[in-house]
């Protein structure tokens, strides 16, 4: 089951209670206070893991609690530290935290009034780790309060509570190239052809119900990740079809391949399809609509109306978009398309590296 959005409750461990104890040994009847401090509670961490690609585990287990600290004891023994809780999340997970004041009153508000969410962390790198709830401090034992004037303090502290938070996890897949197109445009066929991904392929709309990722291997040890999302239709940005739910998975891509069916079987004009797809991307998110795009006229081997293909090519040229004639089924025309995508990716990676190097130089 692919799950890309969940709400969870996390709580760090409470600190252990400080001990109130007095040393009592033979021949030492008034040994003085020796109550140890309580141990700190465990903290909660989120870690980006490349071993999972969905948030489904959190859907069925939404509450997570780290271990409490152990209480102190006599002979000045400090209580044990509670074990930290480390939760693995997929790479690309955005962590939102409910604002504290909103969260306190959330249970009494009507269902329509949700807490206000603020971005807490973006776990975009493998192994990236973030502290989301800190464990409570252990309480002080009575030995801590001993002074020259108060040699037998009968005072100790309870442990402090650990942080408790309501989190919302959003998964945005990390992919370099995104495939966009109407249902049955051939996106799943294309990703299965250029990578080892094995999505479901059938001749009916919305065969793809969840995003698919595939790694494209090219010569000279070049590679990139491509994402295939469910087909878009007009009005996708407002919730029609499945587009509004999965378009967010394209927001991290560097280039989009707009796949247009030119076989004529859809009954639509390919040039109109291109305009609709581009409009839906821009209406969903302006940044998504402004990403570099490549137009691929798919099913060219089954095209029966050359003027329709020519009109699509003319429209792409008018928009300044590179145009490619391909057949995902036959595998024709794919290499130039992939090389064009790689060129854009290489430029984007070089620009990103330059920015990182400049930031590192300025920080020295």
pLDDT digits (tens, 9 = 90+) for 194-204: 987 675 554 54
Asked whether residue 16 is assigned to any structural domain, the reply reads yes
**How many domains would you assign to the chain?**
2
Task: Indicate whether 155 and 40 sit together in one domain.
Answer: yes
Asked whether residue 362 is assigned to any structural domain, the reply reads no
Task: Indicate whether 181 and 164 sit together in one domain.
Answer: no
Asked whether residue 284 is assigned to any structural domain, the reply reads yes
Asked whether residue 363 is assigned to any structural domain, the reply reads no
Task: Indicate whether 323 and 337 sit together in one domain.
Answer: yes
Task: Indicate whether 248 and 295 sit together in one domain.
Answer: yes
Question: What are the C-alpha distances in Å from 140 to residues 43, 146, 157, 158, 255?
Answer: 19, 11, 5, 7, 58
Segment 141-159 mean pLDDT: 91
Report residue 11's pLDDT band, with 50, 70 and 90 as the boundaries: very high
Task: Indicate whether 33 and 163 sit together in one domain.
Answer: yes
| CATH code where residue 12 lies | 2.70.210.12
* Domain edge (last residue) among 116, 139, 171: 171
Q: Is the pLDDT higher at 225 or at 25?
A: 225
Task: Indicate whether 56 and 100 sit together in one domain.
Answer: yes
Q: Is the pLDDT of residue 8 over 50?
A: yes
pLDDT digits (tens, 9 = 90+) for 307-326: 999 999 999 999 999 999 99
Asked whether residue 272 is assigned to any structural domain, the reply reads yes
Is the distance from CB of 258 to CB of 292 less than 8 angstroms? no
Task: Indicate whether 156 and 95 sit together in one domain.
Answer: yes
Report residue 108's pLDDT band, with 50, 70 and 90 as the boundaries: very low
pLDDT digits (tens, 9 = 90+) for 168-199: 999 887 788 999 988 888 888 899 899 876 75
Asked whether residue 159 is assigned to any structural domain, the reply reads yes
Report residue 103's pLDDT band, with 50, 70 and 90 as the boundaries: very low
- Label each residue of 19-32 as H, E or C: CCCECCECCECCCC
Task: Indicate whether 45 and 182 sit together in one domain.
Answer: no
Asked whether residue 107 is assigned to any structural domain, the reply reads yes
Least confident interval from 102-111, 245-254, 324-333: 102-111
Distance of alpha carbon 239 from alpha carbon 236, whole angstroms: 5
Task: Indicate whether 204 and 234 sit together in one domain.
Answer: yes
- Label each residue of the chain as H, E or C: CCCCEEEEEEECCCCCCCCCCECCECCECCCCECCCCCCCCCCEEEEEECCCCCCHHHHHCCEEECCCCCCCECCCECCCCCCCEEEEEECCEEEEEECHHHHHHHHHCCCCCCCCEEEEEEECCCCCEEEEECCCCCCCCHHHHCCCCCCCCCCCCCCCCCCEEEEEEEECCCCCEEEEECCCCCHHHHHHHHCCCCCCCCCCCCCCCCCEEEEEEECCCEEEEEEECCCCCCCHHHCCCCHHHHHHHHCCCCEEEEEEECCCCCCCCHHHHHHHHHHHHHHHCHHHHCCCEEEEEECHHHCCCHHHHHHHHHHHHHCCCCEEECECCCCECHHHHHHHHHHHHHHHHHHHHHHHHHHHHHHC
Percent of the chain having pLDDT more than 70?
A: 87
Least confident interval from 18-27, 105-114, 193-202: 105-114
Report residue 209's pLDDT band, with 50, 70 and 90 as the boundaries: low
**Tokens 């903290």 appear where?**
43
* Domain edge (last residue) among 171, 197, 226: 171
Q: Is the pLDDT higher at 285 or at 164?
A: 164
Residue 110: what pLDDT?
45
* Domain edge (last residue) among 171, 201, 236: 171
Range of the domain at 125: 5-171
Asked whether residue 278 is assigned to any structural domain, the reply reads yes
| CATH code where residue 210 lies | 3.40.50.300
């Amino acid at each position: 089951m692919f799950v890309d959005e969940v709400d969870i409750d996390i709580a760090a461990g409470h600190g252990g209670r400080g001990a109130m104890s007095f040393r009592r040994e033979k021949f030492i009847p008034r040994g003085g206070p020796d109550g140890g401090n309580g141990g700190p509670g465990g903290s909660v961490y989120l870690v980006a893991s490349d071993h999972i690609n969905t948030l489904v585990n959190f859907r069925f287990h939404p509450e997570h609690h780290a271990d409490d600290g152990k209480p102190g004891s006599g002979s000045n023994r400090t209580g044990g530290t509670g074990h930290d809780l480390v939760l693995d999340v997929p790479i690309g997970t955005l962590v939102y935290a409910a604002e504290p004041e909103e969260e306190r009153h959330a249970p009494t508000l009507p269902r329509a009034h949700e807490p206000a969410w603020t971005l807490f962390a973006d776990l975009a790198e493998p192994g990236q780790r973030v502290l989301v709830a800190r464990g409570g401090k252990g309480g002080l034992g009575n030995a801590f309060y001993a002074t020259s004037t108060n040699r037998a303090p009968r005072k100790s502290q309870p442990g402090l509570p650990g942080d408790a938070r309501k989190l919302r996890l959003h998964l945005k897949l990390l992919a370099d190239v995104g495939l966009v197109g109407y249902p049955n445009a051939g996106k799943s066929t294309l990703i299965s052809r250029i990578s080892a991904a094995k999505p479901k392929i059938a001749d009916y709309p919305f065969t793809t119900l969840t995003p698919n990722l595939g790694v494209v291997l090219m010569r000279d040890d070049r590679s990139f990740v491509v994402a295939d999302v469910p087909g878009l239709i007009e009005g996708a940005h407002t919730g029609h079809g499945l587009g509004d739910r999965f378009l967010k998975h394209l927001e991290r891509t560097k280039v989009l391949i707009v796949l247009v069916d030119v076989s004529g079987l859809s009954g639509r004009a390919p040039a109109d399809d291109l305009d609709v797809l581009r409009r839906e991307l821009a209406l969903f998110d302006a940044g998504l609509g402004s990403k570099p795009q490549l137009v691929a006229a798919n099913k060219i081997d089954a095209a029966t109306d050359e003027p329709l293909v020519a009109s699509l090519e003319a429209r792409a040229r008018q928009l300044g978009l590179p145009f490619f004639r391909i057949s995902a089924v036959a595998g024709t025309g794919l290499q130039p398309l992939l090389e064009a995508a790689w060129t854009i990716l290489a430029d984007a990676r070089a620009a990103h590296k330059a920015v990182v190097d400049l930031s590192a130089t300025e920080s020295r």
